[in-house]
Amino acid sequence: MGKRIEERGVLDCPNGLLGFPHAKQFIILEESKGAEPIFRWLQSVDDPDVAFVVADPDLFVKDYWENIPIGDLSECDLKENEYPLFLVIVTVPADDPLKMTANLLAPLLLSPLTKTIRQVVLSHSDYVSHYPVFEKVRSVLVGASE
Amino acid sequence: MLVLTRRGGEGIVIGEQIVITILEVKGTQIRIGIEAPKDVSIYRKELYLDIVGANKKAVLNDRQRLETLLSGMLNKKEEAEGYEKVGKGAEKDGKAD
């Protein structure tokens, strides 16, 4: 993924995110100065107070997208030869950051073709909405700084 | 809340484009068919509430804060592991020299 995500500019989010229906446009910002940052910011253009920490789900689980039941993506209207990017929202509790989790159940699907982003609920998958990711994040962080 | 009583095979129309049909009533379970335009998202309620809750919990609006959290997190973890590593680490380092 690398730099390419940041270069996509403003992304339309026609349906908003669940619970944030008014957030219809986002930009993606890089978090750290590292060559391959773990986290990025999904910042709402409409509302400066709405921003999420997002990450590539493949950092956390193997073959994330290969394990998504096909039916769960049918509403996304993907074109043939369209390869969406997946991002998952990461929750970092302020009182205990070690309990950080990723929402694998409702990933964000970014279509490079149409420059849109949408949150998809994978209702037929076994993924969970609060998957602990601290150990993975730590090993990536430590590995990168060595 | 509008409350309607329906039997199996009967339906409800919402607006011009959404049709809900009661397909089958079997004990405590009811099978429902929903016809709606593609851009209308349909979720099981418990799943919807789960995701809305997760999204609301995930909103952080301070970039600086995350950087602090991340570096604090690394240090905290290293401190915790430091204790158990001291003994083993010293031994290993000694051999390497």
CATH number at residue A18: 2.30.290.10
The ipTM (two decimal places) reads 0.85
Identify which has the larger pLDDT, B62 or A123.
A123
CB B11 within 8 A of CB B19: yes
Calculate the CA A109 to chain-centre distance: 7
pLDDT, tens digit only, all 146 positions of chain A: 444 555 568 999 988 899 999 999 999 987 555 545 788 889 999 888 899 999 999 999 999 988 888 888 877 777 777 788 999 999 988 778 888 999 999 999 998 888 899 999 998 899 999 999 988 888 887 776 55
- Is the residue at B93 inside a domain? no
Nearest by CB to residue B38, choosing from A52, A75, A89, is A75
For chain B, give the percent of residues with pLDDT over 70: 69
Per DSSP bridges, beta strands A116-119 and A131-132 are unpaired
pTM reported for the whole predicted model? 0.80
Domain that holds residue B31: 1-38
Chain A residues with CB under 8 Å of B50 CB are: 105, 129
* Interface with chain B: mutation pick from A41, A74, A129, highest number of B CBs within 10 Å: A129
Q: Is the pLDDT of residue B87 over 50?
A: no
Do B49 and B27 lie in one domain? The reply is: no
- Is the residue at B92 inside a domain? no
Helices A134-145 and B63-96: angle between axes, nearest 10 degrees: 70
- pLDDT (0 to 100) of residue A2: 41
- Is the residue at A115 inside a domain? yes
Q: Is the pLDDT of residue B52 over 50?
A: yes
- pLDDT (0 to 100) of residue A52: 92
